[in-house]
Amino acid sequence: MTAGTDNVYGYAKKHGVKIAWGTDTLFDAGLAAKQGKQLAKMKRWFTPFEVLKMATHDNAQLLKLCGPRDPYPGELGVVKAGALADLILVDGNPLENIDLVADPDNKFVLIMKDGKIYKNTLK
């Protein structure tokens, strides 16, 4: 299976296939807490930039393909006025060290969803 995954990601990158990132752990709180670790494992095949873009912008583009069933009446995957954006401030630079997303309890210093701050440990 691992060799197949190596091949699939290699071919997808070679041919410019858009890839969305996700897990099947959505409805299991224990496993959902490990999504950052699963995302960081993508460094085996992708740069930190590619990993973060895939999980944010590219996933947002995929969601917008659902047409009239679109549950998000606004722009996704961008940070700009009027767009729907959840924001996370990270202690460190995940573009240099994607492993930071594997430790959200300690490395995510601010989490905002729908304009509401859920975590703020900034000094």
Q: What integer is the mean pLDDT of 80-94? A: 90
Evaluate if residue 26 carries a pLDDT over 80. no
pTM across the whole model? 0.85
**Between 108 and 30, whose confidence is greater?**
108
- Concatenate the DSSP letters of all residues of the chain into one string: -HHHHHHHHHHHHHTT-------S-TT-HHHHTTHHHHHHGGGGTS-HHHHHHIIIIIHHHHHGGGGGG-S--S-BSS-STT-B--EEEESS-TTT-GGGGG-HHHHEEEEEETTEEEEE---
Contact between 110 and 90 under an 8 Å Cβ cutoff? The reply is no
Domain that holds residue 84: 2-120
Evaluate if residue 83 carries a pLDDT over 90. no
**Between 50 and 3, whose confidence is greater?**
50
pLDDT tens per residue, range 32-77: 888 899 999 999 999 999 999 999 999 888 888 888 888 888 888 8
Tally of domains in the chain: 1
